[in-house]
A and B are shown apart, each in its own frame.
Chain A
Amino acid sequence: AQTVTQSQPEMSVQEAETVTLSCTYDTSESNYYLFWYKQPPSRQMILVIRQEAYKQQNATENRFSVNFQKAAKSFSLKISDSQLGDTAMYFCAFMNLGALGDMRFGAGTRLTVKP
């Protein structure tokens, strides 16, 4: 079974600073997808960034980028120029290509951006 671990239950960062959220996962599969989702307080969960395991290049989406280390089974999220609207719960998620549709989430990291 796949497990996803987020070791930082809570983090905070000053506005305009950079913060990195960590995620590790455990799998014996070689083909899979990894995702970071953001869930603001009392608001909808939205996709932040996606990484296909077969791609060596790290995914980036504007201020969000990942550091994907396949051998280490690590998938960290870096948020640059943090904004107050980035305050949210961040979930790392894993989906095995052999079990598409079955997405497993980590416990989440609550990020607070301080003015």
Chain B
Amino acid sequence: DTEVTQTPKHLVMGMTNKKSLKCEQHMGHRAMYWYKQKAKKPPELMFVYSYEKLSINESVPSRFSPECPNSSLLNLHLHALQPEDSALYLCASSQDFRFGTGTYEQYFGPGTRLTVT
């Protein structure tokens, strides 16, 4: 099963709302990622988790708060977002890269299309 699932598919939220994006994978991967993708642009890395620990944070504003409750789940908590945060949010997973084994390609979910009003 090479599938990464994301919920919800679409989300509209006001600037004062609190919402969460969810991502799940059952491939036994121990590295999980959040990306932000604006229209007609490449994905931009936001966060990387390795063995449920945050290993990369690309200076993302604190209104985005990631959480990795276990090896299969990744959440992105959203609070006080701005209209410019509207984008497609992609989750991905890969084999763990800490020990020099594996092929490291990332498997992507379908994304959550977020609109901030």
Q: Which residues of A contact B (CB under 8 A)?
A: 33, 35, 37, 43-47, 50, 89, 91, 95, 100-108
**Which residues of chain B (87-102) have a CB below 8 Å from chain A?**
90, 94, 97-98
- Given the complex, which residues of B lie within 8 Å of A95, measured CB to CB? 104
**B42, A102: Cβ atoms closer than 8 Å:** no
- Given the complex, which residues of A lie within 8 Å of B70, measured CB to CB? none
**A44, B109: Cβ atoms closer than 8 Å:** yes
Task: Classify chain B: how many residues form its interface, as a range.
Answer: 20 to 34
* Residue of A whose beta carbon sits closest to that of B108: A45
The secondary-structure label for the interface of chain B is loop
Q: How far is the CA of A101 from the CA of B56 in the complex (A)?
A: 8
**B110, A106: Cβ atoms closer than 8 Å:** no
A sample of 8 cross-chain residue pairs with beta-carbon separation below 8 angstroms, ordered by A number, consists of A35-B105, A45-B108, A89-B40, A95-B104, A101-B55, A102-B56, A105-B43, A108-B41
